[in-house]
Structure 1
Amino acid sequence: MAINVITVSGHIGKDCELRYTPNGKAVGSFSIPAVTGWGDKQKTSWLTCRIFGERAEKLAQYLTKGAPVTVTGAFELAEWTDQQGVKKSLPLILVNDVALQGGRQQHQQQPQSQQQPQQQPQQYQGSDEYDSDIPF
């Protein structure tokens, strides 16, 4: 028996590209880095993630460049020969689960009239009013 599960966390490298098969099934593709090693020996390999169907359509708007995610799925190495006869390969994750990290992102700024005024940090005025309450 073999188990094929890969989990990768990182920031999305490019916006999810949504396409459709001839049968009308949605396919979303985005990239995520897999970092190995440390220091001078650190290496980043980019993995292409594929998500299918209704989930691809619903999640595409959230799978944007820079968004932190954790992706779990099956690893596949797609191999083909290009028109010049050169063999090529592409590491893929066939996505089973996507966890969006970091909460809701603000994609648009609020109009100036609705923005909260920024408060200036208050400066210490040297008052001894609270000094006696400090236990040290």
Structure 2
Amino acid sequence: MLNRVILIGRLTKDPELRYTPSGIAVAQFTLAVDRPFANQGGEKEADFIPIVTWRQLAENCANYLRKGRMTAIEGKIQVRNYENNEGKRVYVTEIVADNVRFLESSKREGRNENISSNRNSQSNRNYDPFPDDGKPIDISDDDLPF
């Protein structure tokens, strides 16, 4: 069985960071993801998808993500339910993200960021696999494998 989701969209507001009674960080935010087609009026529509992150990833999201920022998330769909104050069963569908990629650099960062719940986020911030970012690469034909 497989439960894996990859989404790219923009944050609708800054992440909301809270802590559980046992001190575990949890951040929630909503990602607006454009639909690949226009409606009958020719306008693009979007889905607003709730995202949840935990622990260090939650704190990193709260510290670095802001409203309107283009972001990619990778995680799993989770459906939970609870009984509200009126005794009605409420179902919540959300994405629990374990990898968040900042697709637009902020003015002070100058590069993309990738953070993950299973990786050391400090080393990811210092590692840039494409340091010339868009500039031509000097490669001779002898260096190509084909």
TM-score class, shorter-chain normalisation, is 0.5 to 0.7
Whichever of the two has the greater Rg, that structure is 1
The question of whether the paired residues in 1 share the 8 Å contact of 2:57 and 2:98 is answered with no
The residue that corresponds to 2:125 in the other structure is: none
The residue that corresponds to 2:69 in the other structure is: 67
* 1:43, distance to aligned residue in structure 2 (A): 4.8
Superposed structure 1 runs of 4+ greater than 6 Å apart: none
Query: What letter is aligned with 1:59?
Result: C
The question of whether the paired residues in 1 share the 8 Å contact of 2:9 and 2:31 is answered with yes
The residue that corresponds to 2:54 in the other structure is: 52
Q: Secondary structure of the equivalent of 1:15? A: coil
Q: Does 1:23 align with 2:22?
A: yes
What is the Cα-based RMSD across aligned positions, in Å?
A: 2.1
Q: 2:89 aligns with which of 87, 90, 105?
A: 87
Q: Secondary structure of the equivalent of 2:59? A: helix
Query: Which segments of 5 or more consecutive residues in structure 2 lack a partner in the other structure?
Result: 109-146
Normalising to structure 1: TM-score of the pair? 0.68
Aligned residues: 106
* 1:34, distance to aligned residue in structure 2 (A): 3.5
1:78-136 deviation digits (Å, cap 9, x = unpaired): 22232223332222111110000112235xxxxxxxxxxxxxxxxxxxxxxxxxxxxxx
The question of whether the paired residues in 2 share the 8 Å contact of 1:30 and 1:63 is answered with no
The question of whether the paired residues in 1 share the 8 Å contact of 2:82 and 2:90 is answered with yes
Normalising to structure 2: TM-score of the pair? 0.64
